Structure 1
């Protein structure tokens, strides 16, 4: 099994790479020429490194990089700097998701390509008509207006939900919606839910390594994929159950 990872040099992306290779899986990563990655990745037999600015990829080149890949995992996001938040490209995530979907659709995969997008609990799954309070609607409208990365994340998830849908034979997708991200060193117990259980004003924590573990489980474990394909699970650190629950 080979997974192509976008955003592999980021905080969660690096953890996802480690989760997959430690489980005996192969990965391809597309990273900027200037990206910093662990030194051991450079000579690792399970990692293929492609140094290229993602915004410079054509559909044809992207399709070439997807050769022999069973799945694609997106941990792509905007840098949390002034330029990263308000500079161009403002639609980096949505544009890249669209690019990779177009590349997959241009090929003839033997089986559907798994597409896993790390998004945010702030995105509402309109397939389920998830309800939020009036106060939260106002806050989310302000965030959507003032912070372009949030609108970008929404557009990326909307593209999979409305343009690819659940009946496309070449692509199957899952949108992973973490809540308040934290940094931990080891995988701990976590839970996945069909919709948020807490509001914007009462967030729950989830470690990046737990998100990476869940994303790795999606692409590597058939039963986990079958449970969540075409859905947008929310992930939290487990509060009471001591068992890891993918």
Structure 2
């Protein structure tokens, strides 16, 4: 497969690129600088640019079998990065005719906001980040793409185990956790298998 990955230089994004390459896929990424993804592999095509540059985003999306977004708010970064990024991706996908989209959201977004008192508390603590996820999900659901929204709970830097559950009705609770390596593995598997179409699975150990 040819995968277009946005957010590739982040903690989850780097793992996703590594796992995609290990699985034999070709990867195109958007980077602010070519050196921000230190991987030496000819199957990685680096497009240097910004999410608000339509030509750069379209160059990443062009010819992709699937677009995967693992964008997230970084310290000092824009609080609407997920919404703004998805808006740019959707425009590029419409322009290039690319259909498959897998986007990283979060458990507690949209209709899962009231699943527990803990989630309601989390939303108060990181309200701007969750509002960004809410708005992003709204754009994705309104699009004509073949979309999947992935909702993990709290993320860790643990190793990949494959011992996680994924379901649209899953409620992880206060102890819900998922390693970034397992998150990357799940998102890659969704791209490969084409499952969870038009669904928002929660993924947790």
* TM-score normalised by length of structure 2: 0.89
Number of aligned positions between the proteins: 205
Bigger CA drift: 190-199 or 70-79?
190-199
**Matches of 2:199 and 2:56 in 1, distance apart?**
29
**Matches of 2:184 and 2:123 in 1, distance apart?**
29
Contact 2:5 2:28 in 1 (8 A): yes
RMSD (Å), alpha carbons: 2.2
Q: Which residue of 2 aligns with 1:139?
A: 121
Contact 1:179 1:205 in 2 (8 A): yes
1:65 alignment partner, SS class: helix
Check 1:125–1:2 CA distance in 2 against 1; reply closer, same or farther (3 A cut). Answer: farther
- Cα offset for 1:68? 1.3
Contact 2:47 2:56 in 1 (8 A): no
**Matches of 2:169 and 2:44 in 1, distance apart?**
34
Contact 1:120 1:178 in 2 (8 A): yes
Contact 2:83 2:133 in 1 (8 A): yes
Whose Rg is larger?
Answer: 1
Q: Which residue of 1 aligns with 2:106?
A: 120
**Matches of 1:13 and 1:95 in 2, distance apart?**
18
Alignment map for 1:1-246 (pairs within 5 Å): 1-33=1-33, 36-38=36-38, 41-42=39-40, 44-55=41-52, 57-58=53-54, 60-79=55-74, 81=75, 83-84=76-77, 89-109=78-98, 113-125=99-111, 132-133=115-116, 135=117, 139=121, 142-143=124-125, 147-161=127-141, 163-164=142-143, 168=144, 171-199=145-173, 202-221=174-193, 225-226=194-195, 228-237=196-205
Q: Which residue of 2 aligns with 1:242?
A: none
* TM-score normalised by length of structure 1: 0.75
**Matches of 1:186 and 1:143 in 2, distance apart?**
28
Contact 1:116 1:176 in 2 (8 A): yes
1:106 alignment partner, SS class: helix
**Matches of 2:192 and 2:81 in 1, distance apart?**
27
Check 1:45–1:187 CA distance in 2 against 1; reply closer, same or farther (3 A cut). Answer: farther
Structure 2 unaligned residues grouped into runs of 5+: none
Off by >6 Å, runs of 4+ in structure 1: none
- Cα offset for 1:34? 7.1
